[in-house]
Structure 1
Amino acid sequence: MIDGTPVLDNHLHLDPDNHRGIDAVRDFARLGGTHLLVVNKPSWHLGVEAEAGEDFRPVFERTIEIVEAASAELEGRAWPVLGVHPGLISRLVDERGYDPTEAGEIMRGGIDVAAEFVADGRALALKSGRPHYDVDDAVWEASNAVMRRAFERAADLECAVQLHAEASEEMTDVTDWAADVGLPAHKVVKHYAGGRLEGPVPSVMSEKDRLEVAAERGEPFLMETDYVDDPDRPGAVLGPKTVPRRVRWMLENGLDDAVRTAHVETPKAVYGIDTEKTLERA
């Protein structure tokens, strides 16, 4: 904790085998971090070249294992967020020869398997989205269909969806799609967001300028690093110490209400988690 507040990183990755893994969690905890939402790494980064939805199962199971190990290092706990990285569609189409419809079917199958883990309580939320780079119309349509499947599953499960998508300050069309299948907008989270976003809840990259905008806006938001735990890119995107450091900076600059918003109130509203009661020293 930092000055009595929980500290949650809403989106980072941990490599269970090839890089820092639990050492990154220890760095986070040492600086005052208490809670983590750990998103599975892209399936191909864990050696899985999926041909069907079932092929994602070992990716999810391995992620759950490292999340359990991470929880043991924290004053609070960690939760898994499971799903299919939207960049997989380009890998399937451009490198492996699938057409976009076939690629979309594989990815929707992965979402369905991830939903099983949420249903049995082993995961907290789903991950989906669409490419943040230019793609042709067929790939774009197939990607949106995958994202809509995630919304359908999340609505059934009453869980949240974290989205990897293009940079934007306005994504109300996406939350309208979610609402159409029964998933309220506050259950849709845009990862790697700026401080201002209409539609989904922004998971703000923990850079000072973005956080200042989010604090001034006064709306629900979360904080993240998108730490990728990649041996080829050490420290990318932001390091695991960043969120605790930024929380300390926010408190020193009188942004106490924004800290409570990001680390207590918004996690409860979006995910149904209580970051205060899950502290060992509540």
Structure 2
Amino acid sequence: MDELDTPVLDNHLHLDPEHGQGMDAVRDFEHLGGTHLLVLNKPSWHLGPVPSERADFHTAFDATIDAVTDANGILPGEAWPVLGVHPGLISHLVDEGYEAEEARDLMQEGLDLAAEYVADGRALALKTGRPHYDVDDAVWEASNDVLKHGLALGAEHDCAVQLHTEATNDLTDVAEWAEERGLPAEKVVKHYAGGRLAGPTPSVMSEKARLRTAVETGEPFLMETDFVDDADRPGAVMGPKTVPRRVRWLLEQGHDDAVARAHVETPELVYGIDTVGTLDREE
């Protein structure tokens, strides 16, 4: 496979060496021309019991950091951990008997712990959000409280915050919450986004139709697969080869500027990372 003359960043995927492909997925990504990864911790209930106290979140966070360390031995660029609490946890907690407010408090404690990893340099950014499915009013209100807490932590630690939310092209409300707390809206990233989004920065699922839209907007965007690295669901949501393949396709279509926007300019804008400077190409 011919080398791509650009950094190639997958902005949102999971790695699970114990239960999934692990480093084989990273090698597939790298072989197709991938260079950089943002690795999100898997939902905590995928890696053990549903958390019942703050310390329980260490399991998912530490497993992610270990995977990133191994990935950095493979990639010509760099991988970074993004740590936080999946918004779907609130439903698991409520199912176990928690009141919505109690679940909120535990999830906020998990985010506080993730922020400590950011503060000491072990993680790049945070993740939070709200359910993408129907919930009752109490759970919705509690979930928005968790999301706002994550935004406040992002402002406090000057880091980006990735969001898992309902499908929408308009999150201006969330962007306003971020700005109110001192976090610039561009440092809020909607994971699993379409090609057009009002408010935060979209992390566009790497489907051709969505990418065409993102290219047409001329706005900052990122690309992702949301690869879940689950042996029972190989390739879900998208496989690790997808972003490099889509970058190659965009370049073939003449969209060099859009590729630079997604893989160089927007990562710098949102995360403060230099995907060119961290790229070690062997001559």
Q: Could you state the TM-score of these two structures normalised by the residue count of structure 2?
A: 0.98
Residues 192 and 203, structure 2, Cα contact 8 Å, conserved in 1: yes
Map Cα deviations across residues 146-204 of structure 1 (whole Å, 9 max, x no partner).
11111111101100000000010111000100111100100100000000000010000
Write the distance in 2 (CA, Å) between the matches of 1:149 and 1:263: 29
Write the distance in 2 (CA, Å) between the matches of 1:158 and 1:72: 28
Structure 1 equivalent of residue 212 of structure 2 = 212
- Displacement of 1:2 in angstroms is 4.4
Structure 1 equivalent of residue 15 of structure 2 = 14
Q: What aligned pairs does 1:64-213 form with structure 2 within 5 A after superposition?
A: 64-94=65-95, 96-213=96-213
Residues 2 and 248, structure 1, Cα contact 8 Å, conserved in 2: no
- Displacement of 1:16 in angstroms is 2.6
- Displacement of 1:266 in angstroms is 0.1
Write the distance in 1 (CA, Å) between the matches of 2:223 and 2:127: 16
**Aligned with 1:3: secondary structure?**
coil
Residues 12 and 38, structure 1, Cα contact 8 Å, conserved in 2: yes
Write the distance in 2 (CA, Å) between the matches of 1:13 and 1:208: 22
Write the distance in 2 (CA, Å) between the matches of 1:54 and 1:109: 9
Q: What aligned pairs does 1:222-237 form with structure 2 within 5 A after superposition?
A: 222-237=222-237
Corresponding letter in the other structure for 1:237: V
**Aligned with 1:269: secondary structure?**
helix
Q: What runs of 5+ residues in structure 1 fail to find an aligned partner?
A: none
- Displacement of 1:247 in angstroms is 0.2
Structure 2 equivalent of residue 55 of structure 1 = 56
Write the distance in 2 (CA, Å) between the matches of 1:16 and 1:93: 30
**Aligned with 1:24: secondary structure?**
helix
Structure 2 equivalent of residue 240 of structure 1 = 240
State the percentage of identical aligned residues: 68
- Displacement of 1:52 in angstroms is 1.6
User: Would you say how many aligned residue pairs link Structure 1 and Structure 2?
Assistant: 281
Write the distance in 2 (CA, Å) between the matches of 1:38 and 1:200: 20
Write the distance in 2 (CA, Å) between the matches of 1:230 and 1:165: 21
Write the distance in 1 (CA, Å) between the matches of 2:213 and 2:236: 23
- Displacement of 1:232 in angstroms is 1.5
Q: What runs of 5+ residues in structure 2 fail to find an aligned partner?
A: none
Structure 1 equivalent of residue 277 of structure 2 = 277
Write the distance in 2 (CA, Å) between the matches of 1:170 and 1:114: 27
Write the distance in 2 (CA, Å) between the matches of 1:64 and 1:90: 26
Structure 2 equivalent of residue 25 of structure 1 = 26
Write the distance in 2 (CA, Å) between the matches of 1:267 and 1:40: 19
**Aligned with 1:33: secondary structure?**
coil
